[in-house]
Structures are given as structure tokens and as C-alpha cells.
Structure 1
């Protein structure tokens, strides 16, 4: 019958294709909805959370380079000449981007809780390769050490902090400050004594580059721009944090989202610290936790989970700087 009516055959085929197309569209829409509904709502921008009770000075040069500048934030109520425990924060951005101004509202929130908080810029890759950034943040720490009283900095109570790539930088500064062997390997002289660094904060941080040869896309590009290779095992080991940790590494606070590809290495790093008998405070979430918590989730302050991380971070810094 159909053989005698080719037009009917064509009509049936066309209808089938149309129905298949509709079915695929519906399936894709459902899948897209399920995926996006699992992701967090970014909510209000970070700057909307910045308190009005904090003041500071921006773009203070700590060196001659165009990006060798820092911002200092502290409570408006702080009297001249008074100092507070000081958090020194290196921003993220894959070592090739980012700026202290982007995390300034978060740093102001921390300052509002009774700390002096310093945001540090550093030279970006690929124009500046590792370990330039580590040297610069180390130099910024030295600058703060010298100008402590005028900047409300308590140089006996530094907490080194960073997010993403910035976490790798500050963790290396903490390592070279507490591990003379690593400082010698890197060729960087520490500018403060180990006892001056009372804590480390690593938010969504990069701590292990040994598997960089398996990175793809922008992550691979970022590592190549920063280090120069994803296959030089000795260089990747030098730029990692985990191999250089000793029992002298400062008490550490870590977090990573359950949908962050860096989460496995951050959790492994926390286990290494504990094996070295370093005190660790952590904020992690179960694999099936909803919403999915992406890289740098801690800055999405509309999330209960980000607020939980913020409270935990503040409690940790308070505990480590308490006298």
C-alpha cells in the first residue's frame, strides 16, 4: 500500500522525524533544567555585602612594579596607632587574571569582624612566570612587617590567605617561611619569622600541580602560562604545596565546593596536614549535596553554605590570633 503511495511514506517519515525532534528537545530541556536547578543562584553581587563600618587605604606600593600594590582595610572605629591581627589575602584568577579590588568587599567583611585585612596584587602570567608571584607576596609581607604600626598591622599575628591561584601563592609563602629546605630550593629568603605566621586560609585553592599533564582547556593554559610546562615533573613538584609541608606549617583552614574539580586535591592536602600533626579546620560538602557548589562558591554570600564557610573562617582566624 505504501509502495503505491510514496507521498504517504514521505509524510510518515517527516512526521516521525518531527516527533523525534520534539522528543529530543523536551529531553534536552529537562536535562538542562535539572542541571541548572542543581547550580547555586549567584544572588546579590559581592559588593552589596560590604559593610559601611570599614575604611582603608588602597593602592599602597610595596615595590616598584605596576602591580606591586596592596589595599589595607580596618574598622572605622580603630584609633590611630592601634593594631589588629592581620589577614594578608592574595586574590585568585588562575595566576593570569583577577585583582584585589574584586575580593575587596569580602576582605571588608572580614575587617568588620575585628581584623586588619590586606589585599595584595601581584604580577600576572604569562608576563611573569613562577615563582615571581611568590617572591612578590613574600615582599608584600616584608613591607607590612616594616610599616606595621602605621598600617594598623599586628606583625606578630599574620594569617596568610588566598583563593584559587592566590591560595597556592600564599601557601608557598607559608611553606618557605616554615621550611628552610624549600626556601633554599626556591631561592627566596623569608621576610618574617615562622612564629609570626599564626594561620593559613586556603579557599578553593590549588595545592597540587603534579597532575597538571591531565589538565585540559583553560586550566591547562593557566598552568603553562604560570609555570611554563605541564610535563616538567621537578618544576610541577616545586610549584605544588603538598610536598613542602612539614610539621611546622601553620594551622590551616581549607574549603572547596563539591562541584569544584580541585576538591579532591584540597581534601587530600587536609589529610597530609593532619598526618604532619598540623591543626586543620575544614568546610567540605558531601558529593550529593545540593545545590552544587562550584569553584569559589565561598564568595556567593546568598548561599547558606557560603555563610557557613564565612563564619567558620572568622572563627578560625579568631582562634589563631586570640591572646
Structure 2
């Protein structure tokens, strides 16, 4: 009887893995031991693909007209990284409450275009909206993005008349890593000790910053080293890239990013939400909401029972095919409409 030798698993027809892929994987693994770049760029590619799908999901809900758009406006000297978009209703010429949105992407990916449909929907309700680019990691490290975003706020104030911005009614908003950056800018504005700590003079005064909108953010990076699974690994790679050190725990950036430790009773009125299927909700969004409430800050929360169906994923608010996402958008608009004069 003739016997056939078993081929190694990687050469069996049902599980073909090209030799070049195996070799490149080994190289990536070796390089990843000394640099975050390979893994960060891999994560970025995945995030960019998902972001394009999410934008496509939002597009049918966005207005197709009725807005004046100023796209790719330069607010700094870092090329496309320091550009912003501004949207205003076509009708009227008065200055409007202005919502400034900071995109997410784990500090290593994302662009202002990822949130364009969402900020257009908000603008259509009678607001000026702006979405901001900033330099992501590993191309640049902390606190470059915070400095750039603060510069963007200063630029918007300087050009308030041009873009129908009410400089005394600024709302900053963000999703995921953008929510972390939003919280940093809010603490920078309202806690002088924090501004001294990070060495940045805030562009806004506390009176100008009327409210904050926080979606699915991170506010305590001390939790990240122990985060389980591939998600925890991804966040650790992202923070290595962003903070510029593999052992980033106890670095100044680690301390400064954990805004849970820096918020005060002067933090602005806040709308905060996270999905029940998002692991960041229990460990990040809810603790921040609880602390702000304990400080006496006016906080509006949109959370869901653990057994809520469907389970709402990270950044669920952009998945507008979900009824809950549409309800969260309406809650956000009601929050904006209810801000005091």
C-alpha cells in the first residue's frame, strides 16, 4: 500500500498561507518588538476600512443641501493635518452656537471626513459646526495633537465673524480618542493647574466653553495595561505610538491623558454616552459621568442596560441604522437646544 506523507498545515490546500506572508509576518513581529509602527499601521488600515463603511452608513441620513460649507481650511502649518471644515445653515447671518467635533481613531488614525455626515446633520439643525484634523501617531507624539486642536479653537475664535461663530457659545465634542482629546481641552480650559501641567495656554475661556459632548471615550488610561483581548493589545500599541514610549505608564502623557483625575466642579455641562456592547462604557464613560455628577457638574447620560438588544458597539452613535443611534442623535440635539442663553 502506498502511503502519502502529511504536509505541514501551512501547505495543505484548505489552509494555504503564502510563504511570503509567513516570512513578512515574522519580520513584522520582530520589528514590532522594538517599534510600534508595524502594528500601528496595521490597526490604522483596519480602522480606515471600518470608517469608510460607517461614513457610507451615515450618508443617507445627512442633508443634501441647505448648508454653506468651508472645506479644508488651514488653521496651522502642518499641511492637511492642520485643516478643518466648517458648516453653517444657508439661512440667516447671525452668529450661532458652534459645535467643534474631534474625530476618533485610537490616536493613530482617522480624519475629519469620518465625521462629516454627522456634523452636517447637526449644522442643519441651526448650528455652526466644525470638524478638525490633527496629526496622528506614530507620525507625531503627544502632546502635538492637543496643541494643534487648541490652535484650531484659537483660529475659529479669530475668524468667528467669517464663519458665523458665537465666540461665547462654543461646544466641543468628540468620539472615542476624540472624546479623550475633547476632555483634555475642556480640563485645559477649566483647570488652571492642568494647563500649567501640560504647558499649554487654553484658547478658550471657561465662559466661552458652554458644554461638552463625549461619545465612547477613554478618560483613564491607567486601565489600559490590564485591558483583555485583542482590543487591549490594540490600545497598548496605540498608546505606545502616541506617547512615544513602549513603557508609557507613569509618563507625563499617561498622567495628563487621564482626565478622570483632573476634572473639577468647573468642568462644563456634559452629555456623555456609550453603548452596552462597548467595553469602554463600564470602565471609562460611566466612571467619568459618576465623578462629574459627584462634583456637581450638570451631566446628561445616555447609557443602556447590559442586556439591551441589540448590543450597541463602540461608537454606536454613528451607526444610524440603529434606532438607538438615531435616538442618541436626537438626545444630543435636545441637549444643545436646552443650553442656557
Match of 1:69 in 2: 83
Give the distance between the partners of 2:56 and 2:195, measured in 1 at CA. Answer: 42
Query: 1:138 aligns to what?
Result: 150
Deviations 1:15-70 (A, max 9, x none): xxxxxxxxxxxxxxxxxxxxxxxxxxx89711121112222101111111121011
Instruction: Work out the CA distance in 2 between the residues paired with 1:296 and 1:211.
Output: 19
For residues 1-323 of structure 1, what are the structure 2 equivalents within 5 Å?
45-51=57-63, 52-66=65-79, 67-79=81-93, 82-215=94-227, 216-229=232-245, 231-235=248-252, 236-264=254-282, 265-320=284-339, 322-323=340-341
Which digits, 9 at most, give the CA deviation of each residue in 1:286-311, with x for residues without a partner? 00001010001000111110011101
Query: 2:279 aligns to what SS in structure 1?
Result: coil
* Cα offsets for 1:251-304 (capped at 9, x unmatched): 100010001111011101000001110000111010000101000100011111
Q: Does the residue aligned with 2:222 lie in a helix, a strand or coil?
A: coil
Provide the residue aligned with 2:27 in structure 1. none
CA contact (8 A) 2:55 2:117 kept: no
Could you tell me which residue of structure 2 aligns to residue 7 of structure 1? none
1:217 Cα deviation after fit: 2.3
CA distance in 2, matches of 1:209, 1:43: 28
Q: Does structure 2 retain, via aligned residues, the 8 Å contact 1:201–1:253?
A: yes
**C-alpha distance after superposition, 1:178-199 (max 9, x if no partner):** 0000000000001121110000
CA distance in structure 2 between the partners assigned to 1:258 and 1:313 by the alignment: 18
Q: For 2:312 and 2:249, locate their aligned partners in 1 and report how far apart those are by CA, in whole Å.
A: 32
For the residues of structure 1 that align with 2:279 and 2:240, how far apart are their CA atoms? 18
Normalized against structure 1, the TM-score is what? 0.84
> Over aligned residues, Cα RMSD in angstroms?
1.5
The answer for the alignment partner of 2:9 in structure 1 is none
**Higher relative contact order (CA closer than 8 Å, sequence separation 6+):** 1
Which has more radius of gyration? Answer: 1
Q: Which runs of 5+ in 1 are unaligned?
A: 1-41
Q: Which residue is equivalent to 2:19?
A: none
Q: Give yes or no for contact 1:212–1:231 (8 Å, CA) kept in 2.
A: no
What is the TM-score when the length of structure 2 is the normalising length? 0.79
Q: Distance in 2 between matches of 1:61 and 1:193?
A: 23
Deviations 1:93-139 (A, max 9, x none): 11111111111000000001110000000011011111111111111
Q: Contact 1:258–1:289 (CA<8 Å) still a contact in 2?
A: yes
2:221 is paired with a residue whose SS is: coil
* 1:137/1:170 contact within 8 Å kept: no
Give the unaligned 5+ runs of structure 2: 1-53
Runs of 4+ with >6 A deviation: none
Offset of 1:249 from its aligned partner?
0.4
> How far off is 1:231 after superposition?
4.7
Residue 206 of structure 1: CA displacement? 1.3
Deviation (angstroms), 1:234: 4.7
